[in-house]
Structure 1
Amino acid sequence: MIKTDVSNIHRTNKTYWDENGNDFLESIVLPYYGCNTLTENELNLFGDVAGKKFLDIGCGNGESLKYHGNNKAAELWGIDISQNQLEKAAKCLSESGYAAKLICGAMEDEHKLPTDYFDYVYSIYAIGWTTDLQGTFNRVASYLKKDGIFIFSWSHPIHMCVAFEEDKAFFKNTYFDETWSQRDLDGKNILLCSRKISTYVNALAKAGFVIEQLVEQTNDETLQLTGELSDWTKKSQMVPLTAIFKARKL
């Protein structure tokens, strides 16, 4: 268990993203919401985005912003804790002919972003890095217009506490543990905590959102696979790996 030292958490995780980046994680940029889950092409959570204003929380290398640019979004904004990632995003978007306003900093901090301004705020596999979930959701709500949409995906908490070995799934830790801990990602240390589904639901409600959709399904292609499968694939056929929320600001 790690004491919630916000500055240490930010420093550790920022170092990881500065040094490693997410170029190899193709499954966490739109149209993908995460590994082995349904895609935006299937879910159509955003709908017609032409002429809309977007803010990407944890925008990474900019591929998700480019996705919306390709669908004729009017404005592209992004926040990321890693300057290295923002440089990749700027390059990605510039090469595609898109301008974007990119801000370096933690998603839970004040960045003097416009309020009641965006049609969509979204986060693809980044929201779980926040050290202040309620504060982050409150800020997201302030950025959005009335009836604006907030869409985010993150590791499903069941996935984070279930392991799979020899064709059997078992709990490796309690679902209710929301303390911060050190984890290994590609041989590097990061600091994360798992949060219950109810934690996300209650924080969204307190911030003034109504949930319109919660997606937990593994994609059909994975569910239909048979034969010699990896433990990862077998696990995704038994428990959800990703949770996707769509909420509307009241």
Structure 2
Amino acid sequence: MITAGRDLYDDPRFFEGYRRLRDSGAGINDAIEIPAMSRMLPPVAGAAIVDLGCGAGALAHRLADAGAAHVLAVDSSQRMLALATPHPRVRYLHADLDELTLPAHSADLVVSSLALHYVADYPGLVRRVAHWLRPDGRFIFSIEHPICTAADPMTGWRKTGEGTVWPVDDYASEGPRTQSWIIEGVEKHHRRLATLIGGLLDAGLELTGIDEPVPGPAILQSHPHLAEHLRRPPLLLLGARRRKVDPVDGAE
């Protein structure tokens, strides 16, 4: 059975396993992804923000607490949204990211944390994001690193001799991949780094940042099991900006 991203977090087997993983603190979210995302984010005071794939709303809350005027937090999972706690400047919306439409020039910042590898139409979504952004608006997102999603299926570390290796195979063949992660048959989408960056440029955005975060010494001291991520980057973060002057019509 294949479980697509839009349905994954509503699968009760996956949902309970994922919640246990997050509650345990054993994953890479708190230790690696959140600090890296925080470093790349611009000041958000007074900003109108869209959070794509918000889950239970942790990032949306952090942005609202940092002074955002309002945050539209979007997720396709009813189960995840049911976990979200209210915030006076956060509005939750149940919607599929592949189908989401928003008004033009309505956002100062669009963010996404570890969700876009579930999106089937990445170029289409990026074009829509560019349409939503105001001049000088930013788009910042994290995904699983293409090195991690390349092999088909995504088998993870493989034993070889006395050690292990991470297979980087089928890298140029883009498309859906299956993985055994909490449950069997989890579907994600593999894209080359050139495709991910090229999609931003093709949508008329300017690249403003790129990061491949790995755990630092302090994190490794408290979470030694994360040392395997020094051998290959688990995540990719990209930042982009809509130009102040539209290259098509020159409008501010």
Is the CA contact 2:5–2:119 (under 8 Å) kept in the aligned structure 1? no
Tell me how far apart the structure 1 counterparts of residues 38 and 100 of structure 2 sit (CA, whole Å).
32
Counterpart residue number, 1:51: 46
Quick check: 1:147–1:249 contact (8 Å CA) kept in 2?
yes
CA–CA distance in structure 2, aligned partners of residues 157 and 16 of structure 1: 20
Contact kept, 8 Å, 2:69 with 2:89, in 1: the verdict is no
User: Is residue 236 from structure 1 mapped to residue 229 from structure 2 by the alignment?
Assistant: yes
Equivalent residue number for residue 97 of structure 2: 107
- Alpha-carbon offset, residue 57 of structure 1: 0.5
Q: What whole-Å deviation, never above 9, does each CA across 1:36-88 have from its counterpart, x for those lacking one?
A: 53643785322321111110001111111011111121101022111222222
Seen in structure 2, the aligned counterparts of structure 1 residues 40 and 119 have a Cα distance that, compared at 3 Å, is farther
Q: Does 1:142 align with 2:131?
A: yes
| TM-fit CA distance, 1:152 | 0.3
The equivalent residue for 1:181 is 177
Taking only the aligned residue pairs, the percentage that are identical comes to: 22
Quick one: distance in 1 between partners of 2:177 and 2:163? 27
Report the counterpart of residue 165 of structure 2 in structure 1. Answer: 169
Q: Give a deviation string over 1:7-28, Cα, whole Å, max 9, x none.
A: x98x74333211344534549x
Q: 1:101 & 1:155 partners in 2: Cα distance?
A: 26
SS at match of 2:199: helix
Is the contact made by 1:215 and 1:245 (CA closer than 8 Å) also made in structure 2?
Answer: yes
Asked if 1:198 is matched to 2:194, the reply is yes
Say if 2:73 is the partner of 1:78.
Answer: yes
- Give TM-score, length-normalised by structure 2: 0.78
Structure 1 letter corresponding to 2:45: A
Structure 1 window deviating more from structure 2 (71-80 vs 101-110): it is 101-110
SS at match of 2:32: coil
Alpha-carbon separation, structure 1, partners of 2:48 and 2:88: 13
Contact 1:34 1:242 in 2 (8 A): no
Structure-2 separation of matches of 1:188 and 1:168: 22
Deviates more, 1:129-138 or 1:171-180: 171-180
Per the alignment, residue 122 of structure 2 pairs with 133
Partner SS state of residue 141, structure 1? helix
Specify whether residues 75 and 51 from structure 1 end up closer, same or farther in structure 2 by C-alpha distance, changes over 3 A only.
same
CA distance in 2 between partners of 1:127 and 1:200 (Å)? 10
Q: Normalising by the residue count of structure 1, what TM-score does the alignment of the two structures yield?
A: 0.79
Structure 1 residues 14, 213: closer, same or farther in 2, change over 3 A? closer
**CA–CA distance in 1 between the matches of 2:42 and 2:228?**
31
Count of aligned pairs:
229
Report SS of the residue matched to 2:40. Answer: coil
Residue 208 of structure 1, aligned match among 201, 204, 210:
204
Counterpart of 1:14? 6
Structure 1 CA distance for aligned equivalents of residues 134 and 235 of structure 2: 27
Could you tell me which runs of 5 or more consecutive residues in structure 1 were left unpaired when the two chains were aligned. 1-7
Task: Provide the C-alpha distance between the structure 2 equivalents of 1:100 and 1:224, rounded to a whole number of angstroms.
Answer: 34
